[in-house]
Amino acid sequence: MLPVIALVGRPNVGKSTLFNRLTRTRDAIVADFAGLTRDRHYGTARWGARQFIVVDTGGLEDSAEGAIFEKMAGQTQQAIAEADLVMFLVDVRAGLAGQDQEIARYLRRLGKPTLLVANKAEGMKSGAQLSEFYELGLGPVYAVSAAHGQGVRDLLELAAEQLPPEPQPDDAAGDGDAQEQAAPIRIAVAGRPNAGKSTLINAWLGEDRLVTFDMPGTTRDAIRVPIERGAQRYELIDTAGLRRKGKVFEAVEKFSVVKTLQAIEGAQVVVLVIDATQGVTDQDAHIAGFILESGRAVVVAINKWDALDRYQREQLARSLELRLGFMRFAPVKHISALKRQGLEPLWKAIDAAYAAATRKMPTAKLTRLLQEAVQYQAPRKSGMFRPKPRYAHQGGMNPPVIVIHGNSLDHLDQAYRRFLETWFRKAFKLEGTPLRIELRTSDNPYADKS
């Protein structure tokens, strides 16, 4: 097990900036905006030969400011509980605040190893500004500038010294072998705001791992959560809800949209969560279209299914056929994330979609199926030309790509392409994944001769 470092502090002291600096990524959204981070955000950092996990947390706010801040505080407390070392960040330019005193009192009570980090100390030549933070009773104050990298190397070296000792070589080798045996399957959970994406992941995990609240836009970052089922490891990616372009105003929300689109492209399976009480909207169709363009395997999860009566369910089925007819290959599962209903069939559909997206299709079988399809229904003649498919082979996976070679294939109409796609899908049971067919026409050796 890798040691864990938790970054805690009140809002807007630079925790996400330091997280990005330590992990050498831009995974955490950063803005001059209090309360931006809400969920626990995990990343991996390294110092020399040491490797450890860094946890970015939401700012610890006064619970009187709203119920959502209570849930954010719960996430932070959970991160502190599982950490081996806590980095308590304060803002040296804003000075000591009453919330800093409360957080320090909480950390002293827990007795966790803690480093007091005074952030935003760029350009400060003397330590006079740091003196007031010694009254927090957490030992020396370490001045850094997460935005500029000042003092971060020294902080990492100090943290590495205070972390638990490294595991023995035998243990480390065993962990590496286990990781090679089962690479994690990346699953992105996407959909409109407030459709129940975070609630679904919490239901899978059996704990309140992500902040859920009856307010659109609660999730802002793309949060990655590892999970194991049997011998298979998964990486769940909770994404921010995608709303229409005209309703995206804040720069923070625009960054969230970019993170969501990147998460979809980087996933292997996407679970499209649709709010049954709101029906299938145009925005759901737009998100489905982007998933299709990305070539990701997809499972449609109709959430809050238990809230509909019989007539509403029939109307929803018609709306699904009308608006998402271009994704008939995707299995549709009815669930209730809040009541943990329908989760097992959803897992089976995800595994089946991943298996279909990564299925190997032998050239001999593909060619035989192609010839059988042509015998069953030959392509229509186009002018002077009749397309003649000859043989096929697999050109890629996730999504599966079938490359067909032959003569005059550029005259093959769309209807026949759909026929071939259906033919191959049925033979290889490609449910839950897009299928791309590429046509390559052989050159005519007599084209340049009179």
* Residues 4, 19 contacting (CB under 8 angstroms): no
Does residue 176 lie within any of the structural domains? Answer: no
Count of all residues that appear for the chain in the document? 450
- Is the pLDDT at 61 greater than 90, yes or no? no
Kindly indicate the confidence band of residue 336, based on its pLDDT and cuts at 50, 70 and 90: very high
* pLDDT digit string, tens, across residues 383-423: 777 889 999 999 999 899 999 999 888 888 899 999 999 99
- Is the pLDDT at 345 greater than 50, yes or no? yes
Q: Are residues 229 and 303 in the same domain?
A: yes
| Residue 182 among known ligand-binding residues | no
pLDDT of residue 62: 53
| Residue 146 among known ligand-binding residues | no
Q: Are residues 101 and 114 in the same domain?
A: yes
Q: Are residues 202 and 339 in the same domain?
A: yes
Query: For the chain, what is the total number of helices (H) and then of strands (E)?
Result: 12, 15
* pLDDT digit string, tens, across residues 65-108: 444 345 446 667 777 877 889 999 999 888 888 888 888 888 88
pTM above 0.95, yes or no: no
| Residue 197 among known ligand-binding residues | yes
**Residue where one domain finishes, among candidates 339, 358, 377:** 358
Residue/partner pairs of 91-95 with CB below 8 Å, 24 or more apart? 91/10, 91/12, 91/13, 91/14, 91/118, 91/119, 91/120, 92/118, 92/119, 92/120, 92/121, 92/124, 92/129, 92/130, 92/133, 92/143, 93/120, 94/13, 95/132
**Residue where one domain finishes, among candidates 358, 374, 393:** 358
Q: What is the mean pLDDT of residues 417-433?
A: 93
Tell me the C-alpha distance between 99 and 72, whole Å.
15
Does residue 178 lie within any of the structural domains? Answer: no
Does residue 343 lie within any of the structural domains? Answer: yes
Query: Which distant-in-sequence residues (6+ apart) come within 8 Å of 256 by Cβ?
Result: 29, 217, 219, 220, 221, 240
Between the CA of residue 235 and those of 29, 174, 344, 353, 399, what are the distances in Å?
Answer: 20, 21, 17, 16, 19
Q: Are residues 157 and 25 in the same domain?
A: yes
| Residue 9 among known ligand-binding residues | yes
Does residue 180 lie within any of the structural domains? Answer: no
Q: Are residues 326 and 212 in the same domain?
A: yes
pLDDT of residue 60: 62
- Is the pLDDT at 344 greater than 90, yes or no? yes
| Residue 130 among known ligand-binding residues | no
Instruction: Kindly report the CATH number assigned to the domain that includes residue 115.
Output: 3.40.50.300
Does residue 169 lie within any of the structural domains? Answer: no
| Residue 119 among known ligand-binding residues | yes
pLDDT of residue 445: 56
Q: Are residues 211 and 287 in the same domain?
A: yes
Q: What is the mean pLDDT of residues 226-254?
A: 65
Q: Are residues 308 and 344 in the same domain?
A: yes
Q: Return the residue matching tokens 């610890």.
A: 60
Instruction: Kindly report the CATH number assigned to the domain that includes residue 376.
Output: 3.30.300.20
Q: Are residues 393 and 259 in the same domain?
A: no
Does residue 344 lie within any of the structural domains? Answer: yes
| Residue 273 among known ligand-binding residues | no
pLDDT of residue 371: 94
Q: Are residues 350 and 388 in the same domain?
A: no
Kindly indicate the confidence band of residue 450, based on its pLDDT and cuts at 50, 70 and 90: low
Kindly indicate the confidence band of residue 444, based on its pLDDT and cuts at 50, 70 and 90: low
Q: Are residues 342 and 372 in the same domain?
A: no
| Residue 120 among known ligand-binding residues | yes
Tell me the C-alpha distance between 218 and 214, whole Å.
8
pLDDT of residue 271: 93
Q: What is the mean pLDDT of residues 226-235?
A: 85
Does residue 245 lie within any of the structural domains? Answer: yes
Q: What is the mean pLDDT of residues 267-281?
A: 91
Q: What is the mean pLDDT of residues 216-224?
A: 52
What is the total count of domains within the chain? 3
Helix, strand, coil percentages in the chain from 3-state DSSP, rounded to 5: 40, 20, 35
Between the CA of residue 379 and those of 10, 366, 442, what are the distances in Å?
Answer: 67, 18, 17
Q: Are residues 132 and 238 in the same domain?
A: no
| Residue 423 among known ligand-binding residues | no
| Residue 196 among known ligand-binding residues | yes
Does residue 449 lie within any of the structural domains? Answer: no
| Residue 59 among known ligand-binding residues | yes
* Residues 267, 237 contacting (CB under 8 angstroms): yes
Structural domain for 257, as ranges:
185-358
Percentage of the chain surpassing pLDDT 70? Answer: 78
DSSP codes, 87-140: EEEEETTT---HHHHHHHHHHHHHT--EEEEEE--TT--SSGGGGGGGGGSSS-
Q: Are residues 78 and 100 in the same domain?
A: yes
Kindly indicate the confidence band of residue 176, based on its pLDDT and cuts at 50, 70 and 90: very low
| Residue 60 among known ligand-binding residues | yes
| Residue 15 among known ligand-binding residues | yes
Between the CA of residue 243 and those of 90, 95, 253, 272, 411, what are the distances in Å?
Answer: 35, 38, 10, 14, 40
Q: What is the mean pLDDT of residues 355-369?
A: 95
